[in-house]
Amino acid sequence: MSKEIILTGITTTGTPHLGNYAGAIRPAIEASKDENARPFYFLADYHALIKCHEPERVKQSSLEIAATWLALGLDTSNAVFYRQSDVPEIMELCWMLSCVTAKGLMNRSHAYKASVAENEEAEGNDPDKGITMGLFSYPVLMAADILMFNANKVPVGKDQIQHIEMARDIANRFNHIYTEHFAIPEAVVEENAATILGLDGRKMSKSYNNTIPLFETEKKFKKLINKIKTNSLEPGEAKDSENCTLFGIYKAFANESEVDEIRGLYAEGIAWGEMKKILFEKINTEIAPARERYQALMDAPEHIEQELLKGAEKARKISAPFMQKLRESVGISAITKGR
């Protein structure tokens, strides 16, 4: 039986944080060990250019993300781990897909519509202000990422479901015109994936600037945990666990009986300082070994580069011949061929 293809991309604009880890990275690494699946995980560096025009940041982020995934034990003998820009067939496919994608479909993209709406509310109300063609056609690039490897399952956050639906539409359109080339992908949204709140109690996100980087030094990590906002209830006063940022994070790292125990301590009025200590210990125990490997990898970036190039080579074994087929089917090939 052929393996199910799971594919997902990580945009290279930031430093991996606890929320990324619990919500996406940890489950993806688990999945990389499943022998019935063939995961494709890649650094979406062309996607990064849509929202980030700082070259150093894009580069640094690629390094940090790759080091993170490798340090956490991604099984690269099963998973194909690569940089989008090392697989030029993806960009070529992006153009082929652009030529069968209705502009009207792209007009409906949430990300694009949100930017237009923001502009219309702002002064001067030029609806196109700051909107690049990259942002507008971003779902086509995402479709190319997915269809290039005929992915069956695409694990994503809720905000990306629409993009997967667009990839399905685009695949169907292409298949209809040029015969069946593409598998129709499905979004996988892990309903009980952990979402973690940040330092200020809003969702942990780089756009809120409230994140706790996954691999800070132990000392800094502890400091950040201590900075998480709580209410001003005193030790001994009963506390509500359900709406507590600390408790929410703890839940993403502990088993059920541990969670029950802490819930009891909340009712008994555990001091915030004490809870922060427990939380720090819990997470630190899980990530400390990977933190060491991360540091070692960051000190040897050539090893990371090697891994990425190996991944790209594996990916291109698939994408290069597939692209040849696609070129022929759209009428771009040696003119002597097939005559």
Is 160 a residue that touches ligand TRP (CB under 6 A)? yes
User: Shortest approach of ligand TRP to residue 25 CB, angstroms?
Assistant: 12
- Phi first, then psi: give them for residue 17, nearest 5 degrees: -120, 175
CA dist 10 and 142 (Å) reads 11
Query: Which window, 8-16, 208-216, 250-258, 306-314, contacts ligand TRP (CB under 6 A)?
Result: 8-16
- Residue selected from 5, 6, 9, 225 as contacting ligand TRP according to rule CB under 6 A: 9
CB closer to ligand TRP, 27 vs 201: 27
Is 11 a residue that touches ligand TRP (CB under 6 A)? yes
Is 156 a residue that touches ligand TRP (CB under 6 A)? yes
User: What is the SS3 assignment for 294?
Assistant: helix
Is 23 a residue that touches ligand TRP (CB under 6 A)? no
Q: By rule CB under 6 A, what string of x and - marks binding of each residue 93-132 to ligand TRP?
A: ----------------------------------------
The length of the chain is: 339
CB closer to ligand TRP, 29 vs 44: 44
User: What is the SS3 assignment for 44?
Assistant: strand
Closest by CA to 306, choosing from 67, 49, 39, is: 67
CB 47 within 8 A of CB 142: yes
**Buried b vs exposed e over 65-103: b needs ≥16 C-beta within 10 Å?**
bbbbbbbbebebebbbbbbbbbbebbebbbebbbebbee
CB 27 within 8 A of CB 195: no
CA dist 250 and 175 (Å) reads 47
CB closer to ligand TRP, 43 vs 290: 43
CB closer to ligand TRP, 44 vs 290: 44
- Residue selected from 58, 79, 146, 262 as contacting ligand TRP according to rule CB under 6 A: 146
Is 145 a residue that touches ligand TRP (CB under 6 A)? yes
The amino acid present at 185, given as its one-letter code, is P
CB closer to ligand TRP, 142 vs 326: 142
CB neighbours of residue 203 within 10 Å: 13
Residue closest to ligand TRP (Cβ):
9
Q: By rule CB under 6 A, what string of x and - marks binding of each residue 30-49 to ligand TRP?
A: --------------x--x--
Residues that bind ligand TRP in the complex, under the rule CB under 6 A? 7-9, 11, 44, 47, 142, 145-146, 154, 156, 160
